[in-house]
Structure 1
């Protein structure tokens, strides 16, 4: 039985305390980018709490991991 929880990009933005409507996410993605080998959680635009959440999601391979990876990819386009 699959008991995992699937989180959307909108859920992640809400969890991070950011506006989570599609238009707000598009605006965020238009303003922020990651370059080269820059780590998502180390980007300068995160608060300390946001940074910790993102790091923990990846380290713990939590149910947030997939959508955090999706955000990483979107910030590199």
Structure 2
């Protein structure tokens, strides 16, 4: 069982993306969700595996859900 603490950095690692604070800030600054109609997991910038992971984290209220919500908020800010 995975008992590690989930952070925005570990979420980016899980998604296969660069996970330094600078890379995360750059990603968020260049990938915005301006419409409330677009769900995080349906954004066009995710590949299929990333979208499935995000969808499952939200739908199953997994231990990743809180940090996925944080990412959603930051992408809409």
TM-score, structure 2 normalization: 0.91
Provide the residue aligned with 1:17 in structure 2: 16
Provide the residue aligned with 2:59 in structure 1: 59
Unmatched tracts of structure 2, length 5 or more? none
Provide the residue aligned with 2:48 in structure 1: 48
1:31-69 Cα shifts (integer Å, max 9, x gaps):
001122210000000000000000000111100000000
Aligned equivalents of 1:44, 1:57: Cα separation in 2: 18
Kindly report the root-mean-square deviation, in angstroms, between the aligned alpha carbons of the 2 structures: 1.2
| Large movers: runs of 4+ above 6 Å | none
Q: Does 1:69 align with 2:69?
A: yes
1:9-52 Cα shifts (integer Å, max 9, x gaps):
00000000000000000000000011222100000000000000
